[in-house]
Structure 1
């Protein structure tokens, strides 16, 4: 299992243990497998809660979690039983949950093995003629630029019945941080989310900045890319 997936689960476990938690994930600690979340990352709980709220507000009958890994939303969110959650990840990426989350989800759940960097991945069982909500949480940062554009275009093409896509995208200022200096391939960042999603076929692209009133929850001190626009983090809600 990808260490970054376990690290993210460890961050969810840490948040779940807080008395003022933004969400509760009772399986996160087991899924983390002893991996330490390290220093507190105040952004990750905000992102998780923001996407939780957006998923519930969308009331979409089909939810596709791209690069799902150790995500537990099919269990922990109060989704209607008629909702189908498709969890898409590479081979072996979804296996740990089968034994470590011992209860059935409250909605329909399907596992899909796919290479999301390929141009022709698909989601078996998805009804392309019905609305679909795509969720790419923490995914685009780890892909090459051409793979990001292919993924976004593929999701748009599979949304013939209408679709929305939730994703987080970092500004290019992140690449100037010493911790990322010289990293190859460079993580994906952009200062033009509207152009990125528009080129891929998403006809509308709205976003909230992490730290703004809509994406803060009292954790980020009101920061929203003030000063250096390149340090913005975009929480995108696009539609076709």
Structure 2
């Protein structure tokens, strides 16, 4: 929203570009590859939320930002991994809460807030590939390394208490910038390792799993980004009726945080 640019090239996945398009309706939002979706976002559909609401008419639906615009349009609040605790604590204590779609992030937020939360059984395949056994091996091999964990990780429920920090990806970057430590075990999608190693060549970073890679993100290549700018395609748009409803949970999040 803060940019003066008329065109935004979003080298991410589709729900990210959708959110940018809704927040910046006067700008052109491009994405290098329309097929860059999100397996986690695909695990919840608008109709499934409507079904839950029919059974819990007084309930509150909270969605992770990793959801489609159509799903956001059915929700009351949107959260990121950074502000989820703050948003949930804002909701009246007597309310039933459905959190979609990430089970592991929902479990983390449930533990942190002590709230009654119905958890959807969605997951990010890249983060779910990070298993406790591998983390145990790395911690034994690198006892001086700081252990940084993303709350989407499949090992979250078993090893959350062992992490030095539970952080979003951007939170990890900021923490490494400040930390005097020289070794880190990084439990998130492995694309972050390139950024960390580039910014801190003197430090060592160990992936919590060699398999924690998002094939959707990898669809975005330099060649596709270049061609998107040359052709000004593909453009990401959101149906105005859906956008009007989907922006409400996002705005509520922004108002709280």
Bucket of the pairwise TM-score, normalised by the shorter protein: 0.3 to 0.5
Q: Identify which of structures 1 and 2 has the higher relative contact order when contacts are C-alpha pairs closer than 8 Å and 6+ apart.
A: 2
TM-score (norm 1): 0.36
What TM-score do you get using the length of structure 2 for normalisation?
A: 0.34
Answer with 1 or 2: which has the greater Rg.
Answer: 2
Bigger proportion of residues as helix: 2
